[in-house]
Amino acid sequence: MGPVNWIAVFAAAIAAAVIAIAWWGPLFGLAKAREIKPGKITTNRNRGQRIVLTCILLLVTSTMMGHMFARVGEATLSAKPWLWFMMSGGLAIAFVIPSLWISYSHARVPTRIAMIDAGYWLASYLGMGTVFFLFS
């Protein structure tokens, strides 16, 4: 196992946060789409708390991804550069999106919101994979 590239870890978390700002801002401004309806699960956190929590959790995610890439090793990743994207996108497609949809189906979240959120996670994970690729 090679060393974790900590600069790439922090850069990947920042990239995922920037993608989130664009995704849930100008691209899919969900302020109206996410209005609270009676009987829906809600949170008591204000916007600032949600942003801090999101940044912390994105850092956890990018740390795990950095560890995963370090475990695979620089030699393998150099010989097979598609692995950066296959592994990061594969995590989103095989783990994150299905778990999101399972949770959303129990909370009765509209399919439109689930699809938009799933798109973010795929874009975010591919963005993080791209950052690790660029920092390799």
User: Is the model's pLDDT at 77 over the cut of 90?
Assistant: yes
Tens of pLDDT, residues 107-123? 888 888 889 899 999 99
Burial of 36 (0-12, 13-18, 19+ CB in 10 A): exposed
| Residue 69 included in any domain | yes
3-state secondary structure of 118: helix
Q: Structure tokens of 46?
A: 């204000």
| Residue 64 included in any domain | yes
Quote the number of domains for the chain. Answer: 1
Domain that holds residue 10: 6-36+43-134
pTM exceeds 0.85, yes or no: yes
| Residue 1 included in any domain | no
Tens of pLDDT, residues 15-32? 999 999 999 888 887 555
| Residue 72 included in any domain | yes
Q: Are 77 and 136 contacting, i.e. CB atoms less than 8 angstroms apart? A: yes
The confidence score (pLDDT) of residue 92 equals 96
